[in-house]
Amino acid sequence: MSCPKRIAHGPCGAMWEGVCEVLGDEPCVFAGVTQTDAVDRDEFSSPTAASEKLSRSTASSNTHMAERTAHQADDTSLGEPKNMTFRQKVERGQFVITGEVAPPTGVDCTAMIASIRTWAPVCDAVNITDNQGATLHLSSMAAAVMARGVGVESIFQQTCRDRNSLALQSDLLAAHTLGLRNFLAVTGDNPKSDSPVRRMFDLNSTQLLHVASDLNRGVAMDGTSIGEPTAFYLGAAAFLDAEPWEAQRARIAQKIEAGAQFFQTQAIMDTEKAAARIEQVQQMGAAVIAGVLLLKSPAIIDFIDRRLEGLHVHDALARRIRSAADPLAESIEIAVEQAAMIAEVADGIHVMPLGDDEAGIEIIRRANIR
């Protein structure tokens, strides 16, 4: 028996307790192989899970990956003036910096454009979130095109929560025709319990990577040809602080097999533990852009520890911020230390300043990574 949705890479996100949503009481044809392909609950959101939930305003050269496959992106399709694209920099072993930008909740893009311009001098690309926190925002694709229009390369996101497999493919085709080349697949936050939003989860992020990889080969999900292939540089989310690590490592391996070429990580709290895990992911063949989160205040720490499952601010870090005369200044100091350490091992850094772009720039400058 084949899947009625013609899915070939494992169960979709809509399967519930082994039952197919299309066939009603019939079991999913993949029900026996669901453990490692289930929706990734530890990466529902983009790598900045904390920033998406805490703020609506808003990811030294390195030689670990210098021998990556030299498949190049189409330079002319990217409207940014630098000599090399984000993809080329990563694949040639240059240390990259990304910052996060949240699209507006309406149509006034003034603040978003200002944020993009603030990041531009220090970032190789800005990460554009997709309906973060399961709330309405301007689309990631539209915002990414606007970033390109002001000369800044972007990484646009797609969440599996909001679209079925047909819409996801259609949007990927649209993104390619609009000149977007860097893509991050995430499953997406769950809507709040009282939200009228219906969760789609037709695919999970690993399956979406399979689909995007197939489009890069010129093949749609149903096996038909799309003619000229897309040319996306495929990214995914990873949680390096997750325990048990072997389960997260297995998910990362699945994503690499599905086509992931780089990872942007959730906020790293334990830099020593992360260093070993970054090396493991690099040895699997993918680049790692490690996340640094600005822990702006004791209230932020409390929120993370209470509300963000799996993410915990280490006691030593929490004590430094809680006891500081100026918690923001101390949190910037901590982020600078983390960024400097990460620069020794990762392929790049993704800065998450919770809407304080100027603080993000300060972290990058003081860590001497740009």
Lowest mean pLDDT among 106-120, 127-141, 316-330: 127-141
As a whole number of angstroms, the distance between CA 299 and CA 213 comes to 41
Domain definitions of the chain by residue range: 1-38, 40-288
As a whole number of angstroms, the distance between CA 30 and CA 11 comes to 5
CB atoms within 10 A of CB 28: 24
Predicted pLDDT at 190: 77
Cβ atoms of 206 and 251 closer than 8 Å? yes
Question: Which structure tokens are listed for 278?
Answer: 């970054």
Higher pLDDT, 196 or 249: 249
- Backbone region of residue 131 per phi and psi (left: phi > 0; alpha: psi in -120 to 50; beta: other values): left
pTM: 0.79
Higher pLDDT, 215 or 135: 215
Predicted pLDDT at 25: 59
CB atoms within 10 A of CB 192: 11
Predicted pLDDT at 350: 97
Higher pLDDT, 266 or 20: 266
| Domain 40-288 is found in CATH 3.40.50.720 | no
Q: How confident is the model at residue 134 (pLDDT cuts 50, 70, 90)?
A: confident
| Contacts for 137 with CB less than 8 Å, ≥ 6 apart | 102, 103, 104, 105, 129, 130, 131
Predicted pLDDT at 34: 35
Describe the crossing of helices 205-216 and 165-177 by its angle, rounded to 10 degrees.
Answer: 50
Higher pLDDT, 54 or 104: 104
As a whole number of angstroms, the distance between CA 96 and CA 160 comes to 27
Question: Which structure tokens are listed for 18?
Answer: 């082994």
